Structure 1
Amino acid sequence: MNPKGSLRFKLTVGFITITLPLVCLLLYSNYTASNSVREQAAESSKSMITLYSNQIQTALGIETNFLYDLATADVDILSLNKMVYNSNEYTLTKMRILNSLSRYNRFDSTVDIQFAYSNAYLDLIHTNIKTASYDENLAIKQGLQDLLDTVKPGSPLFSGWRVVSSGNIHGLVRIVDSGTGVYLGAWVRLEKLMIPLDLIQLGREGFAALADSEGKLITGSFDVGGFADPPHIDFYEKYQRIMGEKDTYIVVSNPIISTDVTLAAFIPEKRMLHNLARFRMIIAWIPVFAVVLLSLYLIYLNGIILRPMNELIKGMRTLKRGDWAYRLNNSPSREFYMVNETFNDMAHQIQKLKINVYEEHIRAHKAELKHLQLQINPHFLLNSINVVYNLAQLKNYSVIQAMCLNLVKYFRFTTKTSKQFVTLSEEMEHMDSYLRIQQLRFPERITYRFVMDEDSKKVQIPPLIVQPFIENAIKYGFDFMDDPFHIEIHSIIDTDQKRCRIRIVDNGSGFSQELLDSLRSGRYFHQTNDQHLGIWNSYHRLQLLYGNTFRLEFDNCADSGALIELEIPVEAPVD
C-alpha cells in the first residue's frame, strides 16, 4: 500500500506547506533585525572610539610640539654636549634642563616621564618616575636607558610614538633629535591613556583596550570577558564578533594617528540586543501560535476519523504478532467505541488463557540464566589465571601453590549445583577461599574476619547466597583507598525468634545515596540490567525459597563502608 495515498499523508503535507514558509520568514526577520542592531551599535561605538582616539592623538601631538620647541630653542640642550662631562658647568646645565622638563611635566604634560639623553656621554636626564614600587621604577628607568643606548638615527621612534615594554609594563615613547647629539623624549604608560575610556558606557561586561600593530591586545580589561588569552583585532573589518567565555562581543577599533597602537571597544552583544528581547519574543511566539492553530485543526480531523482507524489496524497487526497485552483506547465516536470494546474483550479472553504460562516460562528461563551467570564469573577466573601467570614469571611458587589450592576449593564449591542448601560453615569456608584469592591478587590491600557462634555454623542456607555481597563490596568498595580494605562477617542465632542473622560490614566507600534508596525501596530488584547482578540474583533466590519470612536490609556505616544484614529462619524450608 502506497503511504502517499493516505489521508494522513496529505494532511501532513498541507500542514508543512503552510507553516514552513512562515517559520522561515520569521527566522529571517529575526536574523536581519539582529544584524541591523549590531551594525547601528557598531557605528555608534565607532564614532565614540574615534572621538577618544582623536583626543589621545591631540594630547600626544601637543607633547611632541613641546619636545620640538625645546630641542630647537633651549640653549642648555644645544650646548650640553659641548661641555666637559661631570664638570660644574655640565652639572648646572643638566639641572636647568631637568627643571625645564619638570616644570612642564608638572603642569601641562599628559605623559608620565620626560627625558633628555646625551648621546656622547650616554647620560639620561629624566623627570620623576611615579610608580607603585621601587622595582617598577627601576624597570622603567633601565628600559629607557637600554632603549636610548641602542637607538639609531632613522629609527621609527624619531617619527612617531611607538610601543615599548619594560618587563610587564607597556608604554608609548617619542624621541626628538636636537641635532647636537642630545635626544629629547617622553614616555607615557598605556594604562594612563586608558583612564578616560572608563567613562564610556560599554555595559558591565564591556571594556576598552589598546592593541599593537599586529592586532594583539596589550592593555585593557580583556580578562573581564573571560578571555584565556588576549584576542586579536582585525583592523580591516567594520566590526568583529568575538566569542568570550561569558558573552559574545561586538568589537570596533580605530587607529591612533602618529602611534602604532589601535583603540578598540568590546561591547557585549547581550546588552546590545537587550531592546530586541520583546520583539524577538513576539517573533518566537508567532510560529508557535500558527503551529498550535493549524495543529488543532489536524488534531480534530485525526481524532474523529484517522486515529480510531489507525488504532484498530495497529491493534490487529499487534495481535497477529502475538502481543495479546495490547488494548485499544476509548473513542469519542459511538460506532468506534463499540468496535474497540469488542476488540478489547476478545484480546483479554485470549490473553487470560496464554499469558500466565508464557510469562512464567520466561521468568524461569531468565532466573536460570542469571543463576548460571552468577556461578562462574569469567572475569574473576581470567584475572586469577593472569595472576598465576605473572607469579610463574617471578617464580613465586609458594604463592602459586596457595593460589591454585584456593581456586580449586572455590570452583569445587561453585559447581555443587545439585545441593539446594549448605551449612553456613561451608559457605564461610567458600568465602575464605574467595577472599584468600583476592588477597593474593591484591597483596596487603584486603583483610577480613569471620565471627560466628557455634550454633549458627550449622544453619542451612542456599549455596552462594553470601558471596554476591562480598563480591560487590570488593568490586565497588576499595578503589582509591589509602588504608587496607577490611570486611567482616558476623552470624548469630536469635533463639527466641529461631532466626539466624548474618551481618556483613566493610570500611569501603559504601553505597551511593541513589543506590541505597533504590535498594531500600525495592525498586532495584525490579530492574533487569546486569549491574550488581549477584545482589539481584540473591534477593530473588531468597524470595523464591523463603517467601516473606526473610529480611534483607542495606545501610551505610557511620564512618564509612557498607552494611548488609540478612535474617533467615533457622529451619530450612521444606521443598
Structure 2
Amino acid sequence: MRIWQSVRFKIVFGFFVVIAPMVVFLIYNNLYAMKVVRQQISAHYDNLLQTNITENDNILHEYMVYLNRLESNPDVPLIQALTAADSDFMLAKIRLLNQFVRDSSGIYYGMMDTLFLFDRKADDLYYVTQDNSTYTEKKDVLLGWSRNYLRSKGRLQPDAGEWTPIVIGTEPDSRYLMWTYDLGLDVYAGVLVRDRSLLRVLEGFDVGPDGGTFLLNKEGELLANSDSALMNDNVFRRTIASRAGNYGIVKQGGKSYLVLSQASDQVDAVYAIVMRDDYILQNLPFFQKVLYYWIPLLVALLLMIYLLFLQRIMFKPLVDLIRGMRKLGQGRFDIRLPTDQSSEFAFMSGTFNNMAGQIEKLKIDVYEEQLRVQKAEYKHLQVQINPHFYMNSLNIVYNLAALKDFKSVQKLSLHLADYFRFLMQSHRQTVRLEDELRHIGHYLEIQKIRYAGKLDFDVRVRPEHLGCELSPLMVQPFVENSVIHGFGKKMPDGTMFRIEIETEADAEDPEAHMLLRIRDNGIGFPAGMLADLAAGTYAEGTGEEHLGIWNILRRYRMLYGDERGIAFANAQEGGAVVTIRLPCKGAAAAIADVPSGDGGDEEQAG
C-alpha cells in the first residue's frame, strides 16, 4: 500500500492542511509588522535626514549671502585704494578682520571654519579661522589657490558659482568645501566649510555598530573621510549615490543594509545613512522571537501533542488491528486484540476476536474432516490390486500342474502365499525395509518362474538400512513397473533382463536419510514421460496404465510432504532408474500421523 493511501498519512496531512494556513498567517502577520516597523523607522530617519540637509543648505546659503553683503563694506574699497604704508590701510584691515571675527561668531552654526579676503593688488590674504592648528598651512594653500584661480574678472575655475572641494593638510579631516565671491577692485572674499561638519548632526544618529553616516558626491566618491569598511567597495558607494531621494535594502557582504540618501541643493553632495537591517529590529525582540523561535516551536509542540493523541486513540488500535489481521492471514488463529480502547475500536477488536475464534474452531473442524478424508483416501490407495497378476499367477500354477512339475508348483505356491500374506498385512502403518524387500523377492521369484531364463534380479542393501521403516508397498510398485514396461516392451536381443535394488546413505543428511535405487536394463522412460515427471505434471493426466506411479507419488506426498523425494532418470547404458529418498530416523513417528485402514488390502502396480 502506498504511504499516501494510509489513514496515518491522511490524518497528518489533514492536520497540516488545517494548521498550515494559521502558521502562514502568523508568519505573514509578523513579517508585515516588521515591515511596517522598518518603514516607520526608515521614514523617520529619512525625515531627519531631509531636515538636516535643508538646515545645512540654508546655512551654506547664508554664508553665500554674507559674502555678497561684503560688497557694501566701506573698508573693502579702502584696502584696495590705499597702500600698506598708509595708516588708514592698517586701520581698515583691522576693522575688517574684527568684523570677520564678530560675524563668524554670529553665523558659525558649527560649520564655518574660515573666512578670508584676497587682495589681488597687494597679493595678500586676510582671514580668520576657527581652527588655528593649521593656521599657516591654510594661509599657504588659500594664497596659492587664490593666486592661480582668482583674477580681476572673477573666478576662472570651470565650476564657478559652485562650492569647490579643496584639501588642506594631510589629516583625515582635511577636506573642505569653499565658496568665493568677487567683491570688485581685485578683492575676493571666501568661506571654508569642513566637510565633516556637514555630518555633525547625522553622526549623532544611532545607526548601529556596522552602520554609518557618509557624505559623497554624485559619482560615489567620498567627500568626508570614513573608517567604515563599507566605503571600501566602489560599487556599494556608487549604489548609495545613485539611490539619492529613495530608501531601500541593499545587499553587501552577505548582509542586508537599509540605505537612506538625499542630495543637497547647494553642493554636489549626497548625504547617506546606512544601517544593518537586523539592527533596526533589534529593539523588537518579541517579533523576532515569535517569527524565528516561538512559531516553529509552537507548531512542533502542537504537532507532537496531536500525534501522541492520535497515536494513543487511533494509530495504536489501527496498527494492532492490522497486525492481528496479518497474523490471522498467516494462520495464527489464537491471536486476540485488547478491548480497553475507545468504544469504536473496542467494538472492532471484540468483533475481530469473535471472528478469530470462529475461524479457529472452523479450522479445527476442517482439519478433522481432512484427516477423515485422508484416512479414507489412504485406505483406498492401499486396497488397489492388479487382477491381471492374480489371474496370471493362477494360470502359471495350472500349467505347471498340467506339466506335472510339482516341485515348481510347490515353490510357486509358497511364493504366492507369502506374497499375498504381505498384502493382507498392508494395513500396518510401517514395515521394515527388510520385510518390503522380502515381499519384492517373492514377487520377482514368481516372475522368474514365469519367464524362466529371461529375468534375474540382484538386491544389494546395506545392513544398517534393513531396519529402516517405511510405508508398506512403497518400493514394490516400481519393481513391478520395471517388469511390465521395461521387460515386457524390450525387444529380444538374447540378453537377460535384470533388475537391481541397492541403497546408500544420503549425502545431504547421511544420519537421518537414505537413498534407495531401483535400476533395470530395459527400454527406460520415454522422454515425454520424464519431462512430465520432472515438472510434477505426470500424475495429473495418467490413467490406469501408470496408476502405480501416481499411487506412490500421491502416498509419498501424503506421508513425507514432498513428492520431489522420488527422482526418475534413464541410465547412460540404457534402462530406467528410480531413486527414492527415505527417512531412517523418526520414520515411524512421521508415518504414524497418517491413519491406516482396518482390513487386509492389496496393492496394484502399473
TM-score computed with the length of structure 2 as normaliser: 0.43
Largest Rg, 1 or 2: 2
TM-score computed with the length of structure 1 as normaliser: 0.45
Q: More relative contact order in 1 or in 2 (CA 8 Å, sep 6+)?
A: 2
